Copies of this chain bind each other. A is one copy, B any other.
Amino acid sequence: MGEATARPLRADAERSVRVILEAAERVLAADPGASLEQVAAAAGVARTTVHRRFASRQALVEALASSAARRLADAVDDGRPDTAPPLVAMHRITANVLQVKGAWAFALEQAAEPSGEAADLQREVDRRCVTVLERARDEGLIDAAADLDWVRRVYYALLGETLRGDPAGDPDVLAARVVDTLLRGAGPRP
């Protein structure tokens, strides 16, 4: 609705948008209350340029959220959630998502209003996530009586905790720990 007449930007303008969004993620992740001045400085751009590309602070944050949500959705799709064997898909999706969420933590935390593009994409991600869990359950990897919505939320929480504590570990190792913990917990191994 809002960007109906979005005529194409010139190459340098498009580059400005990109560097501003990247800088905004870095700066706002460190301090959510940081000023647009700081964002502009981190982007190597004048503050007025930020205002030229994004009508308001809110518009910038929304664009940031949408951008990150697209990357996240792509990361999930790349794991073939509908066709790959569940365990393979879970591992691959987890490794992908860890990288995207690590690089776009602030953007993905912004709760977009339910009508926005970011919220749509997030719902789609949730849907695909549950799909994988259902397929895992059908294969006996997850208890038949388990509440899949709770399992999904636990999965998200494990991702978040991994990123909080292990900012730059090997994605495959971290993903293996997440999946293992999700499926088997901390209890004794037979």
Question: Which A positions have Cβ atoms within 8 angstroms of B?
Answer: 32-33, 140-146, 150-151, 153-154, 156-158, 160-161, 164-165, 177, 181-189
Contacts and interface: CB of A to CB of B under 8 A. Distances in A.
12 contacts: A140-B188, A142-B187, A142-B188, A143-B187, A153-B161, A154-B158, A154-B161, A154-B181, A157-B161, A182-B186, A184-B185, A184-B187
A188 B184 CA distance: 9
Contacts of A141: 187-188
A183 to B, nearest CB: 4
Contacts of A187: 141-143, 183-185
Contact of A146 (B32, B142, B186): B186
A143 B153 CA distance: 24
Contacts of A145: 189
Residue in A141, A181, A186, A188 with the greatest tally of chain B CB atoms within 10 Å: A186
B181 A153 contact: no
A104 B146 CA distance: 30
A143 B186 contact: yes
A10 to B, nearest CB: 35
Given A183-B186, A183-B187, 7 more contacts: A143-B186, A145-B189, A150-B181, A154-B158, A157-B158, A157-B160, A185-B185
Q: Which of A33, A160, A181 has the most CB of B within 10 A?
A: A181
Contacts of A158: 154, 157
